[in-house]
Amino acid sequence: MNVRKVLAPTLLAAGCSLLTVSDAHAMHISEGILPYGWAAFWFLASAPFVAYGLRRLGQASEGDLSFKPLVGLLTAAVFIISCMPIPVPVAGTASHPCGTGISAILLGPAISVLVAAAALFIQALFLSHGGLSTLGANIFSMGVMGSFTGFVVFRLLRRFKVSLAAAALIAGILADWATYVTTSFELAAGIRGDAPLLPLFLKIMVAFIPTQLPLGILEGMMTAGMISLLHRKRPDLLVKMRLIEPEESVPCN
């Protein structure tokens, strides 16, 4: 592969992604991008995770009437957070976080898939961020990959006695980047036509690095900030959600 030949157009596409970052909502695949075969495939791939999430929701809300309202309210919170602009230093403008890292840490990955699905549905219908035909693909990248990566990383780091904020920071970053890598793959697979998949996938990933790399770090910092605030203000909630042991809770400020 001629590196110079690949590098120049990649820089051009990266420039375009920088131009558009002020309107980039996380990294959703827009309505109509995916051919129907791929759109259907990602629906099928997401379906078992949504079904598992619904089962977990049913189990968790059996003895707790406040659980469904809590999931709904956190969905609303995640939706609003993902609509809020945060500054991206490299691009010199603002972009929007996904919010699935924090929901996976707080509610677990299965229910976080439902949170993402509901937020994505409302965004698709009322904001044209993402889409209905690409809902399966967006649920898979943001809900499944983002949630499971964030949750597994957080739990793993906590097992190694990493502090709450540091674990949340890394989980938030990796959840965002996992979403971005998966979306790049979905996009490459969907638009490649007869071009080979791997080179296009790499080019799309490189093209979005200027925005998504710093955005991931910002999302990680935001996740760490949120967890730290919850730890300071309502440690009892973190104990209830089994994120910390009772002895780790500190008195409220």
Partner 1 sequence: MHLFSEEFKTAHMLAGTDARLKLLVASGLLVMVLTYHGFLFPLFVGMASLLLCVWMRVPLKLFVLRFSEPALVALILIVIKMFFAGHDELFSVSLFGVSISAYKDGLIDGLMIASRIVGAVSVITVLGFATPFTDVIAALSWFRVPKGLIEILMFAYRYIFMLFEDAMVIYNAQKNRLGYSNIRRGLSSFGILAGSLTLKAFEHSQNTAVAMAQRGYDGNMPVLKHRPFKPSEVIVSIFLIVIMGLAWKI
Q: For residues 45-64, which are near partner 1 according to CB under 8 A?
A: 50, 54, 57-58, 61-62
Q: How far is the CB of 226 from partner 1 (least distance, A)?
A: 4
From 144-152, 153-161, 225-233, 242-250, span contacting partner 1 (CB under 8 A): 225-233
Give the burial class of 31: count Cβ atoms within 10 A of its Cβ; 0-12 exposed, 13-18 middle, 19 or more buried. Answer: middle
Q: How far is the CB of 27 from partner 1 (least distance, A)?
A: 10
106 contributes a contact to partner 1 by CB under 8 A: yes
Phi, psi torsion values for 25, nearest 5 degrees: -100, 105
Which of 98, 104, 110, 124 touches partner 1 (CB under 8 A)? 124
CB burial string 239-248: b at 16+ within 10 A, e below: eeeebbeeee
Coil vs helix vs strand at 46: helix
Count Cβ atoms below 10 Å from residue 104 Cβ, excluding itself.
31
Phi, psi torsion values for 64, nearest 5 degrees: -135, 100
From 149-157, 176-184, 214-222, 242-250, span contacting partner 1 (CB under 8 A): 214-222
Q: Are 161 and 170 in contact (CB under 8 A)?
A: no
206 contributes a contact to partner 1 by CB under 8 A: no
Q: How far is the CB of 149 from partner 1 (least distance, A)?
A: 19
155 contributes a contact to partner 1 by CB under 8 A: no
Q: How far is the CB of 244 from partner 1 (least distance, A)?
A: 15
